[in-house]
Amino acid sequence: MKKIYLLALIFGITVSIHAQNEVYPPSSEVLTEKILNLDAKAFDAYNTCDVAAFRTYFTTDLEFYHDKGGYSKGIEKFIETFKANICNEPKPKVIRKPVKESLKVYPLEGYGAILMGDHDFYQIENGVEKKTGTAKFINMWLLENGYWKMSRVLSYDHKPSH
């Protein structure tokens, strides 16, 4: 019986150590791939107005800073603004596309990551996509209970397209 207990204890410790190593800290390349993948999924939900899916990528205490639209705190206010300004027909549909070569991921040792870069915005009206502007962004991703979520979002230096 002692042998079984000892083996179970060793197995449990081994599994626990292995699982912790897989979750955090990942290598720089793995972290970058993970955050870029999450960003793509979050903004696929944004671009398709999948409000329920989009909401899942943010913490409840989200802080959003926008140089033109101001500051908002909390997921409910953010989603309300998202629905009113991005997914509100008959307004033209707004979509966001990150500028891939500008994207950089920086680890926040032990708890998160920062994604920085440029993003372009487009409007779709009558099936025609037209670039309307560009801006810079900083998204702070936190690892909470095994899930990555954005907790602070800055969108700034908005400029119209020429």
Q: Apex CA 28: angle with CA 26 and CA 34, to 5°?
A: 65
pLDDT score of 24 more than 90: no
Q: Apex CA 31: angle with CA 27 and CA 32, to 5°?
A: 115
- Which stretch, 13-17, 20-24, 88-92, has highest mean pLDDT? 88-92
Nearest to 149 by CA among 140, 136, 158, 138: 140
Q: CA 95 to CA 128: how far, in whole Å?
A: 12
What is the arithmetic mean of pLDDT over 132-147?
Answer: 95
Give DSSP secondary structure letters for 32-59.
HHHHHHHHHHHHHHHHTT-HHHHHTTEE
Q: CA 151 to CA 112: how far, in whole Å?
A: 10
Give DSSP secondary structure letters for 97-123.
EE-GGG-EEEEETTTEEEEEEEEEEEE
Q: CA 133 to CA 130: how far, in whole Å?
A: 9
pTM of the model: 0.80
Chain mean pLDDT for the chain: 85
Nearest to 31 by CA among 19, 20, 41, 23: 23
CA 28 to chain centre: 17
What is the arithmetic mean of pLDDT over 102-131?
Answer: 93
